[in-house]
A and B are shown apart, each in its own frame.
Chain A
Amino acid sequence: MDFRLGERAEEFREEVRAFLAEHLTTEVIERVHETGTVHDWDFYRAYAAKGWMAPEWPVEDGGQGRDPFELTALREELRLAGAPTDGVGTTLLVANTLRVVGTPEQKAEILPKVLRGDIVICLGYTEPDSGSDAAAARTRAVRDGDEWVIDGQKMFTTLAHESDYVFLLTRTNTDVPKHKGLTMFLVPMDTPGIEIEPVHTLGGERTNITFYSGVRVPDSARVGDVDKGWSVMRVALAFEHGGGFGYEIDRLLRDTVAALGSEPDGDGPRLVDDPATLERVGEMAVDAEVSRVLSYAALWDGHTTGVPGPIGSMTKLYSSEALQRWSAEVVDMLAPRALLEHGEAGAAADGWPTQVFRHAPVTTIYGGTSEVHRTIVGERALGLPRAGH
């Protein structure tokens, strides 16, 4: 038994920290905050130049052959630092999927660009009328000779405005059950007929709605077989690395403790001596640790069995709900200065806890809602029958 990631991972962690100290500048963080785009091309290219776009791939494929523990150390540091990695996440997910199901031409065309940090790929699964039920997608793709014509719209196409491609889930057959009539495409974003409309969110992040009107792509843009889009989706979903939000809770904890230390005494006892504060800090630290060890258990489970199991769902479910709870508690603790937004003089912990509070509601929605994950835990961890009502 050993809960440490190991020497190699810790050495790599130091390298990542040094990189972040140099490249995750205040300027980058402020730019991300202002634009709401959790991606920064300068940072992205520098990150790719380190060879970290796909560090787990074998060296001969352009990776660094790093093990899952080194990868975990990398992700931990990125998340603790709050690095803008939305683009890394979606792009690598699609690249990983192409390695499994893509044609030799697609791999030759796309993967080198991914590894160099030249392109970003966004995900086009969700639609105005389908989110968790992704297989209900209605965006149509109709064959026309050697081409396909795509019509429809996608919701929450985050980073579409920075992307070179969208990984698009379409319906190619309406005469079969919903999972059997889907096909995936990798569509260049500069194809005529694509329009992007910004969507602004409670958390300050910018996402998009994307419209597809008579969008023509060659058959070579198709990923996987016709009407086999759902099996491609399953490959892609398996690459969605979990990890949960333990590090976001840790970051919140760190900001809170720093803010408590600098809180003026006022008339009453210092906040750090208040039993209610101690209790909340203690409980928050427990939840951060529970989230972390659950993510380690999921990592180990995946490493030893080769399949992501229901512990990943437990990690996501528990940590996202804990983040929501603690971001709310922390703004209580730091009231009234927590009312002030980032950038205002006197804002508690520079306004970051307030920012987390505003962001937290979406964490139980994206990446599978809490309800979806509870169902997975029930069926796959507890052996409950399929829930119906």
Chain B
Amino acid sequence: MDLSLSDDQEQIRSTFAAFFAKESSVEVVRAAEPLGFSADLWRKLGDLGATSMALPEELGGGASLLEVGLVVTEAGRHLAPVPLVEAVVAGRLLAALGAEVPDDGSVLAFAPRPAGGDVATLVPGAAVAGHVVVRRGDDVLVVPSSGRRAPANLGLAPLADVPLAEGRVVASGPEAVAAHERAVDEWRALTAAALTGLGERALEIGVDYSKDRIAFGVPIATFQAVAHALADAGTAVRGAGVLATEALWAGDDEPGRFPLLAAMAFAFGARAARQASLTGLHVHGGYGFMLEYDIQLYFRRAKAWPLALGDPRRELRRVGKMVLGREVA
């Protein structure tokens, strides 16, 4: 067992922690609303190699999924207004299929839900993407895209519907489907990592406020009713963080367990982030409900990020099926 980061991994983590703290401040996040995209931040991330690090070495990458997870966690902590998870997953999928990975600096978006018809709906990142990777049936398509309108949405994210007419099939058949399913698992595990960062920060904001806010003559953090709700959220977020790390590690080193762990990490990460952001908001009292206070930024996104895949409870049913299959077999 070794649950510590290596020196190199710790270096990645601290570099991106400092980067996002500086470049994705709350002011940057707010200025990017309502579209939820900062072209400037995207360019800087590209310069740092964050968008290509997870590609195979010959394409300028070589980082493990776990290492990308470290970057994504820090992006989540600072609500970075960039579709980083989608770009990473789409790039890795195209590389795995032997398809060309666009490297013109434009955004590569990824539809975690396969398209049912001629349009992929509410694809994260698609409103600002140059290309969108979508699966329809047995086909994986790359769809050129530009300047799509993002409908007003809960997470203030650059979502968009993507018509598939101009799409080019880059792979077909069972292998393409399997590669896409693996990509969706990567999306689940990385989204879980982003939600961990979000949850940790939302909780910190709540903890800090509860230590400062005086009511009945004492800081409200000294009331057990307040402290214990925060402790529950802290426990959930910690559990979500370790589980997301385990899933990402399995993605690199134990592929047999990856689908199950990715689904578990995703479902639990969604729940923990919501709990942390709601508790963080609640301890603010009425101030938590004001747009001026930052906690609401976290509350909206905690709920919105996982929904791109559909009802998170469906993920629990998938886990149930996998567990029943495992136990019966």
Q: Which residues of A contact B (CB under 8 A)?
A: 1-6, 69, 253-254, 257-258, 260-261, 272, 275, 277-283, 285-286, 289-291, 293-294, 296-297, 299-300, 304, 311, 314, 317-318, 371, 373-375, 377-378, 381-389
Contacts and interface: CB of A to CB of B under 8 A. Distances in A.
B289 to A, nearest CB: 23
B223 interface: yes
Interface string B311-329: 0010111111101100110
A47 B24 CA distance: 58
A285 B264 contact: yes
Contacts of A5: 1
Interface in B195-250: 203, 207, 210-211, 218-219, 221-224, 227-228, 230-232, 234-236, 238-240, 242-243, 245-246, 249-250
Given A2-B1, A5-B1, A304-B4, A317 B249 contact: no
Contact of A386 (B222, B250, B323, B327): B222
Given A289-B264, A387-B222, A297 B324 contact: no
Contacts of A275: 317
A365 to B, nearest CB: 16
Contact of A384 (B66, B211, B238, B268): B211
B317 A293 contact: no
Nearest to B222: A388
The 10 residue pairs across chains A and B that have the minimum distance between CB atoms: A282-B320, A278-B320, A282-B319, A282-B316, A281-B320, A377-B231, A300-B3, A378-B227, A374-B231, A374-B228
Contact of B267 (A282, A294, A371): A282
Query: Binding site of B, secondary structure by majority: helix, strand, loop or mixed?
Result: helix
A317 B236 CA distance: 10
B222 A289 contact: no
Nearest to A383: B207
B316 A297 contact: no
Contacts of A289: 243, 246, 261, 264
A314 B5 CA distance: 21
B27 interface: no
A375 to B, nearest CB: 7
Given A69-B1, A286-B268, A286-B316, A381 B238 contact: yes
Contacts of B203: 382
A353 to B, nearest CB: 15
Contacts of A375: 224, 227-228, 231
12 contacts: A257-B327, A278-B321, A282-B317, A282-B318, A286-B267, A289-B264, A290-B243, A293-B242, A317-B231, A374-B224, A378-B228, A382-B203
Contacts of B221: 378, 384-385, 387
B239 A281 contact: no
A161 to B, nearest CB: 37
A386 B221 CA distance: 8
Contacts of A4: 1
Nearest to A381: B234
B253 interface: yes
B1 A280 contact: no
Interface in B241-282: 242-243, 245-246, 249-250, 253, 261, 264, 267-268
A382 B319 contact: no
B58 interface: no
Interface in B43-102: 66
Nearest to A304: B4
B2 interface: yes
A103 B223 CA distance: 44
B324 A1 contact: no
B313 A279 contact: yes
Contacts of A260: 324
Contact of B242 (A69, A286, A294): A294
B231 A382 contact: yes
A389 B234 contact: no
A384 B323 contact: no
A34 B44 CA distance: 68
A382 B210 CA distance: 11
Contacts of A258: 327
A279 B316 contact: yes
Contacts of B207: 382-384
B140 to A, nearest CB: 28
Given A296-B3, A385-B219, 19 more contacts: A1-B2, A1-B253, A2-B253, A6-B1, A257-B323, A279-B313, A279-B316, A286-B264, A286-B268, A289-B246, A290-B240, A297-B238, A299-B1, A304-B4, A314-B235, A374-B228, A382-B231, A384-B210, A385-B222
Contacts of B313: 279
Contact of B230 (A2, A254, A384, A389): A384
Contacts of B317: 275, 278-279, 282
A296 B1 contact: yes
Nearest to B64: A1
A282 B265 CA distance: 12
B231 A281 contact: no
Interface string B1-29: 11111100100000000000000000000
Given A285-B323, A377-B234, A384-B211, A297 B224 contact: no
